[in-house]
Amino acid sequence: MDHGIKAAELFLSGYNCSQSVAVAFHKEMGLTESQAAKLASAFGGGMGRMREVCGAVSGMLLVLSQLYGYDTPGDDASKKVLYTHVQALAGQFREENGSIICREILKNPPSDPNPTPRTADFYAKRPCAKMVMTAGRLLDRFMEEHPL
């Protein structure tokens, strides 16, 4: 499955950027679509429309954590491996898109908590579908290179 295309389809159906990536990988994470959507819901719009880290990046890292993360306090070796992967994936995303920060990608959009209506104009002006597609594609490549 091409998770990048699936993530873009999910975004265009109304999911936020983070949800789109998480829901695209829900089966791999062992979650229902609803569970993945709820888990990622606060990260849309650069964390609740604060325009911080791009929601596509947050969703990508949420999936990475579920699949490759560690759960033992003090496991510094596993933490180092995970953080190395985080930095590599974020770096690849930044290289392709110029930034991992929502406000920079969207060129300073409003940061109030009110969702922007999903209109044809919204989709025409926003690069978000491309961002979630990139995140899904990067994760697909990562998973090919790092089989579970």
Burial of residue 109 (number of CB atoms within 10 Å: 0-12, 13-18, 19+) = middle
Q: Is a pLDDT exceeding 90 seen at residue 108?
A: no
CA distance 139 to 135: 6
Reported pTM = 0.97
How do residues 9-54 score in pLDDT, each as one tens digit? 999 999 999 999 999 999 999 999 999 999 999 999 999 999 999 9
73 is in which domain, residue-wise?
3-145
Residues in Cβ contact with 2 at an 8 Å cutoff, skipping those fewer than 6 apart: 136, 137, 140
Count of H-run helices and E-run strands, the chain: 10, 0
* CA 52 vs CA 36, 42, 57, 58, 117: distances in Å: 21, 12, 11, 10, 20
Q: What pLDDT does 1 receive?
A: 79
Average model confidence (pLDDT) across the chain? 97
Beta carbons of 54 and 131 less than 8 angstroms apart: yes
Count structural domains, the chain. Answer: 1
Nearest to 28 by CA among 134, 140, 137, 141: 140
